[in-house]
Amino acid sequence: MFWASVSATERSLTQAVAQAADHLLEALGGREPDLVLVFASSHHRNHFAALPGLLRREFEFAQLFGCLGLSVIGAGRESGDHAAISLIGAVLPEIDIQGVHLQQADMPPLYAERSLWDNALNLHHIAPACQILLTDPFSFNTDAVLKAADRHYPECVKLGGLVSGMEHPGLPCLLLNDHVYHSGALCLSLTGNLQVDTIVAQGCRPIGEPMFANATHENLILQLDGKTPRDTLTDLYEKLTRSDRKLFTESLFLGVAMTSQREQYQSGDYLIRTILGLDPDTGALLVNTNISPHSVVQLHVRDAKTSAQDMERLLNEYRSNHPSQQNCGVLLFSCLGRGSEFYGHPDHDCNTFKQLIGDVPIGGFFCNGEIGPVQGITYLHGYTSVFGIFRSRIPLTN
């Protein structure tokens, strides 16, 4: 297994593809890739439909898979506000690659039998090791598909992101082999000698104490430890430092504990969800996910320092369990709310990964939502960076 990641910043799409293709083949040591992932910055949106033809001139037999992104990541560098094409190429012996375009109207019900989902995903009753999902946020219910995929393929790792950089719905934004699509989603299933590790950096830290959501209704929390959320938030605010009060008003989130059986909770024990507001009449808290009664929750805040520390903690944990990374590739699906404007300088997440894990090929794009697992369940996130580390499950012998 061999991976390479490159980018080209020519404003001409034709020149950018030709340049990136030359760099990719060179980085792969002349090997022809079996898979080429392509992410095009929004500067190329008006010519996105020409991408399959341009790529096919360079890669006659490779599977092609990709989308539009407001900003892209190639060779471990962020494109920022510049035009760019990112290509990630992989030589994947002993891996079956199956791509499919999905339309919302054609998806089976969530609890349909697995054979219907196998047919929809063109899997032929084979459970994949990994699925990469790219979805159009205007036309596709990503959450529903993730729930179904976890139900039918629990051992499969799912990751990906929502297309970004579109001025309005209906633009060509998804690419699979020789076709572009204006809506729906793409699913790339990889089966065989493959191990995919994920790191989901949610970038928040807890404030206050864990609480029970005593009374809830769908995504509305009516009581926290027996008090209205409005009273709870007011009490907590009074106890915070000046700097945390600022974060409280600008970037407050809710962490939902993945289990309610712990005596102590840490950052990695929570699924971070966005707070939508307070009901002015009842003081109830509105969150962008359904909350089960008696769930353990805790308020969280987010800033650049917190996000950096969270990522370093996760990467150090990964390094302690995976001391050596060879012939691997990394896909990075990062939120539009991260990047240079958030950290104050470009390439933060990529540079941190390289410093702590190794100088491996990294490519991806900035998403309207990021797909990745937390404690074995796949979610659609916000303000998150999702790393997928692809390597052989059983090392190949030369």
Of 71, 63, 80, residue with least CA distance to 176: 63
Q: What percent of the chain has pLDDT over 90?
A: 90
Angle subtended at Cα 120 by Cα 119 and Cα 124, rounded to the nearest 5 degrees: 30
Burial 252-270 (b: 16+ CB within 10 A, else e): bbbbbbbeeeeeebebebb
The answer on pLDDT for 44 being more than 80 is yes
Give the start-to-end residue ranges of the domains of the chain. 2-201+308-391, 205-301
- Reference 257, options 242, 270, 241; nearest CA is 270
> How high is the pLDDT of residue 269?
84
pLDDT of residue 167: 84
Residue type, 83: A
Q: Which of 153, 93, 135 is nearest to 327 (CA)?
A: 93
Rounded CA separation 119/115 (Å): 6
In this predicted structure, what is the pLDDT of residue 118?
92
How far is it between the farthest Cα atoms of the chain? 69
Q: List b or e across 324-345, with b for residues whose CB sees 16 or more CB atoms inside 10 angstroms.
A: ebeebbbbbbbbbebbeebbee
**Low-confidence winner among 18-27, 66-75, 315-324 (lowest mean pLDDT):** 315-324
Encode pLDDT of 61-75 as tens digits.
999 999 999 999 999
- The pLDDT-based confidence of 396 (bands split at 50, 70, 90) is low
Percent of residues, the chain, with pLDDT higher than 70: 98
> Are the C-beta atoms of residues 328 and 390 closer than 8 Å to each other?
yes
Please write the tens of the pLDDT for every residue from 177-234: 999 999 999 999 999 999 999 999 999 999 999 999 999 999 999 999 999 999 999 9
d(CA 221, CA 240): 22
Identify the pLDDT of residue 356.
95
The Cα–Cα gap between 47 and 11 comes to 11
For the record, the structure tokens of 46 come out as 């008006």
pLDDT at 326 over 80: no
Q: Is the pLDDT of residue 398 over 60?
A: no
Can you give the pLDDT at residue 397? 58
Condensed to tens digits (0 to 9), the pLDDT of residues 365-388 reads: 999 999 999 999 999 999 999 999
User: CA-CA distance, 176 to 52, in Å (whole number)?
Assistant: 8
Dist CA 153 CA 137 (whole Å): 23
Do 146 and 158 touch, CB atoms closer than 8 A?
Answer: yes
Residue-level pLDDT at 78: 96
Long-range Cβ pairs for the range 244-247 (8 Å, 24+):
244/207, 244/301, 247/301, 247/302, 247/303
* pLDDT confidence of residue 268: 74
Q: How far apart are CA 321 and CA 337, in angstroms?
A: 29
As a whole number of angstroms, the distance between CA 110 and CA 100 comes to: 18
Q: Residue 243's Cα: distance from chain center in Å?
A: 29
pLDDT computed for residue 124 by the predictor: 79
Region 245-258: mean pLDDT is 94
89-111 mean pLDDT? 95
